[in-house]
Amino acid sequence: MTMKNPPFTPIPEETLTACLAQLAFTDQGLVPAIAQQHDTGEILMMAWMNEAAVRESLTTGVVCYWSRSRQALWRKGETSGQVQRLVHFRYDCDRDCLLLLVDQTGVACHTGRRNCFYHEVTSDGIKVISKVEIDPKTLYSK
């Protein structure tokens, strides 16, 4: 992974605690997180975080989500190599949604597409608007 940006500075415990106290988690202890490529503005994906995932992301600088299907921490890219390096961590006015500005290695989507939002609803029907860049078999055979 090339380091186009300054190395990540871990967030101090005091700030991390303040952030976790501010965030409005759901009854399941989760908050939605939008991942956006920091330099192009491309929206890559949306996933969920719990407190542990927020804490890990803000201390390591590598994005970690909570997998609702697996009910486990999801270190994005751990299997596929398609990691997200954290550049900026923001939250919204209601404190119930995160915006992660990241540097995505390779592709964000498990289908091998750069981003997950590849269905578009048009007046001519529902279209697939982006192509597979990496064969998912390659991504998950490591």
Q: Which of 61, 64, 47 is nearest to 116 (CA)?
A: 47
- List the beta strands (DSSP E) in 1-142: 31-37, 43-49, 64-67, 72-75, 84-91, 98-104, 119-122, 125-128
Q: State yes or no: 64 annotated in a binding site.
A: no
Is the Cβ of residue 40 or residue 138 nearer to a copy of itself in the bound state?
A: 40
Rounded distance, CA 12 to CA 25, Å?
21
CB of 86 to a copy of itself, least distance (A): 10
Which amino acid, residue 23? L
CB of 117 to a copy of itself, least distance (A): 4
SS3 for 87? strand
What are the residues binding a copy of itself (CB under 8 A)?
9-12, 15-16, 18-19, 22, 32, 34, 36, 40-43, 45-46, 58, 88-95, 97, 99, 109-111, 113, 116-123, 125-126, 129
Is the Cβ of residue 45 or residue 63 nearer to a copy of itself in the bound state?
A: 45
Is the Cβ of residue 76 or residue 113 nearer to a copy of itself in the bound state?
A: 113
Q: State yes or no: 135 annotated in a binding site.
A: no
Q: Tokens 């719990």 sit at which residue?
A: 50
- Specify binding-site residues: 92-94, 96, 109, 116
